[in-house]
Structure 1
Amino acid sequence: MADPNNPNGPRGIYVLPEADISHIKRHHSNLRYGNESPFQALDLFLPETEASVEGYPLVVFVHGGAWMMCDKRDIQLTAPLQLLQHGFAVASINYRLSSEAHFPAQIYDVKAALYWLQERAANYELNAHCVALWGASAGAHLANLTATSAGAKALEPPNSHKDKVYPPLRAVVSWFGPTDFLWMDNYFHQTQAGLADHSSINSPESKLLGGCIQELSDLVRQANPETWLTPECPPFLIQHGLPDPIVPFQHSVVFAHKITAVARQRRVYLDIFPNAGHGGEDFSNPKNILRIKKFLDENLVHPRSETDKNI
């Protein structure tokens, strides 16, 4: 059977070049967390250093690709893999793409992958109580929504885990993700940084929801991470490029303000890079990776009081 993730495969899905994992000695590939689709699989990468008694803190990466392309092993994974040298385990997940299933299938998959990892934490020397999400673009949307909708029955995977309580996420790293789809075009009209064509029936957002976003306001509301915000949401480190031509930066600014309003001060950190586009060196350079590491250290590994944090 041809690989359904291959751009020459039966689905014709575009995939970026793979990340280089030749230097990583400890990893597990294509671990199945679901049985509805071949896309319900994840890769797990472990540090070479010995785990503590509690296990490795875990960062789960959710790839971007407009919810309709790309893969858990592509070059988007390069930046998160740098955390291995700092003692973090890294999982990278695939999820059903919009050509196969419409929302909320994608959020069901992210949560199912988290449940799978937490249930089997001891098998892989993971600390089930120290889990963070890191998402890029469409993956950031899914990471943000997963974090804010914890406990929301409308977005829980059906017929599973109803009798179990799982440890909450400790932190979220969010790279240039969208929030309220209905504002995409308005924001681009303001910035002129990208095309204001997201209300089209052929836009990635419409394909995700299964119809024109203008006609699916209730689904747009459900898909918006802001809808589900509570004071108990985990801390967020949100980073976005000012001239981003794919996802306007205002999404991150408004989201950060709403987190502060609903939760409390120091629950969110927002970095706007003045010259960055949709990804690039500003995000993946060693200095920024160390900033992310410090954020994770302070919220995932050694959580402190809100007044003590200063990243």
Structure 2
Amino acid sequence: MSNSVLEVEISRDITYRTIDGLSLQADVYRPLGRDPIASVLYLHGGGWVEGGRIDYEQTRAIKLAERGFLVASVQYRFAQDAPFPAQLDDIRAAVAWLRGKRAEFGVVSEKVGAWGSSAGGHLAALLALGNPGTGERPDVDAAVTWFAPLDVGFMTGGTEMEQEMFGPNPVNLLVGGEFDLADPSHQALDPLALVSAAAAPMLLVTGDRDRVIDASVSERMFRALSRARAQVQLYVVAGAGHEDAALETAASLGLVAGFFEAELGTNAPLTR
């Protein structure tokens, strides 16, 4: 792909969904001087309870837009305000909104990707996986996860002492009680439980010094997707921790842009 850097136009505070009297908003980053290759939804982190759509915009959303993509960084409801699947409903609505705005934004490809960090990476994975148990197909055509909690069942474990030391698990806040992997409604938020051959292509990025979401989580997801014969790549950054600037190198961002160009560009395989 081209390494040329384009100027970026930013449109802020665009309402993409209104639900229960709340207007959910997006910031849109559009490259100037060419039609965008494809649309990518960016989802911020924050443990499903905090964070904002401008987080890391200079080093992520803007950088991807500079490489020719239309990027929409969106707000979604937090767990303390609305339990799961509210967050998934919101980002699915954002994907549908992006698809509907394709002509207005001048986007070349009809395909849509998702990119998220930490909790946002978890949500991006849900968009890429669909739900084999209910027959739901993936909502996006490709996804990138950065240091994401992809094995929610593992996250909810731990001894009483560990739970006392680290506090309440945000996953329990998401479900409004104790997470139970035997509950189908809870399985719907566990990416590892949703793996199938129908998954959209995924790029999993993590750091080998992440002490918040251990690299082994992305590695388990990689093995599960590989066994299912889904398209998946794993990129482990040596010496990088959680939300580490070491991941925001030209090499890492070039990998993300190259992955999306290959999977979403007009010469990419047709949507399955």
TM normalised by structure 2 equals 0.85
CA distance in structure 2 between the partners assigned to 1:78 and 1:291 by the alignment: 14
Distance 2:46 2:101 in 1: 28
2:142 maps to which residue? 171
CA deviation after TM superposition for structure 1 residue 147, in Å: 1.1
CA RMSD of aligned residues (A): 3.0
Structure 1 residues 181 and 198: alpha-carbon distance in aligned structure 2, compared to 1, 3 A threshold = farther
Question: 1:182 Cα deviation (Å)?
Answer: 2.4
Cα distance change of structure 1 residues 155 and 169 upon mapping to structure 2, 3 Å threshold:
closer
Query: Which structure has more RCO (C-alpha within 8 Å, separation ≥ 6)?
Result: 2
Equivalent residue for 2:99, pick from 113, 118, 123: 118
Note the C-alpha offset of 1:263. 2.6
C-alpha contact (below 8 Å) 2:209/2:239 kept by paired residues: yes
Gap change, CA 1:99 and 1:228, over 3 Å in 2: same
Deviation of 1:213 after TM superposition, in Å, equals 2.1
Alignment partner for residue 296 of structure 1, among 235, 238, 260? 260
- Contact 2:31–2:66 (8 Å) recurs in 1: yes
- 1:94-113 to structure 2, matched below 5 A, reads 94-113=75-94
SS for the counterpart of 1:40 is strand
Q: CA deviation at 1:138?
A: 0.2
The amino acid of 1:303's aligned partner reads A
Q: Identity of aligned pairs, percent?
A: 25
Query: Whole-Å Cα distance in 1 between the matches of residues 194 and 257 of structure 2?
Result: 27
Choose which of 267, 283, 288 in structure 1 pairs with 2:247.
283
CA distance in 2, matches of 1:33, 1:152: 29
Cross-structure match for 1:129: 110
Task: Provide closer, same or farther for how the CA distance between residues 39 and 64 of structure 1 changes in structure 2, counting only shifts above 3 A.
Answer: farther
| Contact 2:147–2:215 (Cα < 8 Å) also in 1 | yes
Question: What's the counterpart of residue 155 of structure 2?
Answer: 184
Aligned CA distance change for structure 1 residues 109 and 128 (closer, same or farther; 3 Å) = farther
* CA-to-aligned-CA distance 1:189-246 (integer Å, 9 cap, x gap): 9xxxxx9439988221111111122598444312112333332321111011122121
Ranges in structure 1 where 5+ consecutive residues have no aligned partner = 1-22, 157-166, 190-194, 306-311
- Tell me which amino acid in the other structure corresponds to 2:196: T
Give the one of 23, 45, 51 matched to 1:64. Answer: 45
Q: What do residues 139-193 of structure 1 show as CA deviations (whole Å, max 9, x unaligned)?
A: 000000111016875879xxxxxxxxxx95222111011123221266x89xxxx
Matched, 1:44 2:40: no
Name the stretch that deviates more: 277-286 or 77-86: 77-86
The CA deviation string for residues 117-153 of structure 1, in whole angstroms up to 9 with x for no partner, is 1112111212462211100000000000111016875
Q: Secondary structure at the match of 2:243?
A: coil
User: 1:172·1:234 contact (CA, 8 Å) conserved in 2?
Assistant: yes
Q: Contact 2:37–2:261 at 8 Å: present in 1 too?
A: no
2:229 to 263, 278, 283: 263
Q: CA deviation at 1:287?
A: 1.6
Counterpart AA for 2:14: L
Q: How many residues align?
A: 262
Unaligned runs of 5+ in 2: 1-5
Q: 1:233 aligns with which of 187, 191, 199?
A: 199
Secondary structure, in 3 states, of the residue corresponding to 2:173?
helix
Q: Name the CA distance, whole Å, in 2 between partners of 1:229 and 1:208.
A: 21
Question: Matched residue of 1:179: which SS?
Answer: coil
Distance 2:252 2:211 in 1: 21
**2:17 corresponds to:** 34
In 2, are the aligned partners of 1:61 and 1:77 still within 8 Å (CA)?
A: no
Q: Distance in 2 between matches of 1:153 and 1:41?
A: 29
